[in-house]
Amino acid sequence: MTPVYEDNHIIIVSKLSGEIVQSDKTGDVPLVEIVKKYLKEKYAKPGNVFLGVVHRLDRPVWGLVAFAKTSKALSRMNALFRTGDVQKTYWAIVQSYPENEAGELVHWLTRNEKQNKSYAHDHEVPGAKKAILNYKVIGRSDNYTLLEVQLMTGRHHQIRCQLAAMGCTIKGDLKYGAKRSNPDGSISLLSRKISFVHPVSKETICVEAPLPDDNLWHAFGM
């Protein structure tokens, strides 16, 4: 992980693909513990470090994750995410070229817990949650397309599922129909930018993640 923003209340880091935000059944050290260790060492804190998880990224995804350093910031950041007052921009490298250069995708998603997978429906079905995102083409190579995605809702595997439903599976995402995996086990999805009004200082915060250290990302020349 790489810290990209920090103040007295919040720290935002750019996570690597493969890092998990919170503990899971694998027993691997989660990002929240790595960031706690970083803060403990940076400030030579003698006791436990408070760090609240505000949101999550899927394990194979790259990019920005925000944490709260105080309980006050945690409750306020949770509220911002819950009310949609955090603008989240993702970049995705997909295997096909979409029919339209830009558009809005609206689906109803159902989640299969056993498979850890979501399914997109074009109409409301029992137990489904409405999912909305906007996308636009921002780059092309011989074999791939770079999309910029704005999330309007926050659903399980939303971008992965909705782009696949559009016929644009994310590179390396075997679960949603990619032809082959990426060598490092990642999927080519990056949490590129987040912006919000700071819940304490009221300043506008806008943070951007570095591109993954991968030739394909840099080939788009962004």
Residue 123 has a pLDDT of: 94
| Cα–Cα dist 195/145, whole Å | 25
Name the pLDDT band for 93 (thresholds 50, 70, 90).
very high
Band of residue 174 on the pLDDT scale cut at 50, 70, 90: very high
Query: Quick one: pLDDT at residue 163?
Result: 98
Token pair 């299969």 in the structure block, residue = 112
Q: Is the pLDDT confidence value at 28 over 90?
A: no
Which has the closest alpha carbon to 122: 174, 84, 161, 154? 161
pLDDT for 26: 73
Q: What is the pLDDT of residue 84?
A: 87
Residue carrying structure tokens 């780059």: 139
Range of 100's domain? 2-221
CATH number of the domain that 63 lies in?
A: 3.30.2350.10
- Average pLDDT score, the chain: 93
Residue 221 has pLDDT above 70, yes or no: no
pLDDT of residue 222: 56
pLDDT score at 216: 87
Q: Are 173 and 59 in contact (CB under 8 A)?
A: no
Distance, CA of 7 to CA of 39 (rounded, Å)? 12
Q: What three-state secondary structure class fits 47?
A: coil
Percentage, residues of the chain above pLDDT 70? 99
- Structure confidence at residue 50 (pLDDT): 94
pTM of the model: 0.92
β-pairing, 102-112 with 129-140?
antiparallel
- The pLDDT tens digits for 102-160 are 999 999 999 999 999 999 999 999 999 999 999 999 999 888 999 999 999 989 999 99
Assign 3-state DSSP to the chain and report helix, strand, coil percentages, each to 5: 20, 35, 45
CB atoms inside a 10 Å sphere around CB 153: 13
How many CB atoms sit inside 10 A of residue 147's CB? 25
What's the structural domain count of the chain? 1
Amino acid at the residue 35: V
Q: How far apart are CA 160 and CA 168, in angstroms?
A: 9
Query: Residue 25: what pLDDT?
Result: 74
Per-residue model confidence (pLDDT) at position 177 = 95
198, with CB counted inside 10 A (0-12, 13-18, 19+), is middle
